[in-house]
Chain A
Amino acid sequence: MALLNMSEWYDIARDTNWTPRYVREEELFPPAMSDPYGIPVSEWEAFDEPYKVCYRDYVSTQREKDVGAYSVKAALSRSNFFRNASPHWRSLLELHFGVICFPEFHSTSLFARITRFGRAGGMRNTATFGSLDEIRHAQIQLYFAYEFIQQDRAFDWAHKSAKTENWVIVSLRHALDDIEHTRDAVSSAIMTNFAFEQGFTNLQFIAMAADAAKYGDHTFATMLQSIQSDEARHSQIGEPLIAIMVKNGRKAEAQKLIDIAFWRMWKQFSVLSGVSMDYSTPLESREHSLKEFMEEWVIEQFVRNLKALGLDRPWYWDHFLEEVNTFHHAQQLGIYFYRATEWWKPIAGVSPAEREWLEQKYPGWNETFGRVWDVVIDNIEHGRTEKTACELAPMLCSMCGLEMSGVPGKSWKVTDHVLDYEGRRYHFCSVVDKWIFEQEPDRYRGHRSIIDRMLDGTIGSGPDDLYEYMGQSPAERGTCAYDYTWVEGYKPPLKAAG
């Protein structure tokens, strides 16, 4: 029996709205969960997702993808790749898998909310597959991470991290709880599918895949590309949604949601992808710098998408362009200084050749960030490795939860953006993080950063109290991945005998 082409029945199949008779519309679709913008159902009927898929085709396509990714992994598992990998690359994998798995799984919940509470049939349809996608992304990355656990206990954090109060995880959890998990279906979709997924996932899943392939980690590269192919489909929920918002007089609301989410995810990806691309990827394997990739994929493409939808660049664009040059460099310094607070083993990534690359990609790097590294290098060369860890706790931003940083050295400029709100003081690393708080202070006011918890006694002041609070036994505290031998590159060459 011949099957119909999907295009012949898709529009009928996705048209699942009805006029309820036994309950009210708002009982079926409570605005707080569904659409708080009051857009008529008739307008939602115009939602048209660009990528259409049916369950039959979804299953066969996804199976092919999984066969591809898992067979590459199976073939390469025998090659001892990880055992032979550079500490740079191991550091990158430890960080990636530690942060990525639980956000993927939690995104299942986001898509399930859109599936249930989206007002447009097509939106619900696409989100159903999105929900399945995110289950896949959680499972594939957990499974791939677990290959390494016998060799490196840091990969236990692929699963464990979500259950800890580690400062990196608190930062990420806050951002994703804000944009994905605590808003109605429409707002969450705009923030996640458009701003987050279309804006940034290419960084970690396409740019990193290129670097991974160049390094020879084809298992990781294939996995990333496979994941991103799903992302390209389900992130398309955002654009038709925004078109409906703009058409129905909600442009300002859509703009603000994008402005908030874009910045929040920029902060997270600047650490995850920025540090990975510009420091942890071995020098010879780097395809692009973070800045080059951002310029092509985000600054150009994303802005083009915004304008096509009738939206504007976020108001803080100049701040953003400046931070592309600086933020992740400062964060990398903090990652190294405070490595014991991390579950992975950081690398410095500042050998003479690497510094030359950094200076070429980010002119002025040596006179700014390089100046701090000079102190670190001097300490290691003179046997003062205890001074490569900072005894003072870093201030963490009350919004992004990352270290409050700026530019060191010759162009020294670091600002603590203070806000006093209803008897409590908040600290922000940028005017934009502060602006986000000011949009909905009651949403954010209750959060206590790790520093707040140290000050209010939630975290004790004993030498191990912070680590125990963050779920780190002594064996789970990061150390220099090269055990300081990376400074060998700075020693002058020995003169030949005779």
Chain B
Amino acid sequence: MAEFPLTCCIEGDYGFKLLIVDESDSIDEVAAKAASKLVGVTVPVPPPGSHFRVRIPGSADYLPRTVSVRESGLVRMDPIEILSVLP
């Protein structure tokens, strides 16, 4: 268990936030942690069936959902974007 800080901005929000996750968290868990604090607070609840993906700003691709933070290539205090997608 090791704390892993990131900076995150959820789609539609006005600013970046500090997000502390665990390096063993999967990318899906990172998205869920961010969403749990920001959805319904700074951004509206997305349409039913949506789920959240994580993207490095400027990248066209999302990070793989099941890899851990440790394996993802992210470094401490990397910025990430959290986006709502429909299946």
Contacts and interface: CB of A to CB of B under 8 A. Distances in A.
Interface string B34-61: 1001101111100000000000010000
Given A395-B7, A414-B9, A415-B57, A408 B40 contact: no
A394 B77 contact: no
B55 to A, nearest CB: 13
A390 B37 contact: yes
Given A379-B40, A392-B17, A454-B18, A412 B7 contact: no
A392 B37 contact: yes
A303 interface: no
Given A392-B37, A427-B77, A416 B9 contact: yes
Contacts of A299: none
B37 A371 contact: no
A347 interface: no
B28 interface: no
Contacts of B7: 395, 404, 416, 427
Contacts, number: 100
A390 B18 contact: no
B11 interface: yes
A298 interface: no
A374 B44 CA distance: 8
Contacts of A284: none
B41 A455 contact: no
B12 to A, nearest CB: 5
A393 interface: yes
Given A379-B40, A416-B57, A394 B12 contact: no
A391 B78 CA distance: 20
Interface in A369-392: 369, 371-372, 374-375, 378-379, 384, 387-388, 390-392
Contacts of A393: 17-18
B16 A390 contact: no
Nearest to B80: A416
A306 interface: no
Interface string A314-353: 0000000000000000100110010000000000000000
Contacts of A454: 18
A369 B17 CA distance: 17
B73 interface: no
Contacts of A379: 40-41
A404 B16 contact: yes
A406 B18 contact: no
Given A375-B41, A416-B7, A395 B12 contact: no
A226 interface: no
B13 A408 contact: yes
A394 B44 CA distance: 19
Given A393-B17, A412-B13, A418-B77, 5 more contacts: A375-B41, A375-B42, A391-B37, A405-B14, A451-B18
Interface of A: 330, 333-334, 337, 369, 371-372, 374-375, 378-379, 384, 387-388, 390-395, 403-409, 412, 414-416, 418, 425, 427, 451, 454-455
22 contacts: A334-B15, A337-B41, A371-B44, A375-B43, A379-B41, A384-B40, A390-B37, A391-B41, A392-B17, A392-B34, A403-B15, A405-B16, A406-B9, A406-B15, A407-B14, A408-B13, A408-B42, A414-B15, A416-B57, A418-B78, A427-B79, A455-B18
Interface of B: 5, 7-9, 11-19, 34, 37-38, 40-44, 57, 76-79
7 interchain residue pairs of minimum CB distance = A416-B79, A408-B14, A405-B15, A392-B17, A395-B16, A393-B18, A404-B16
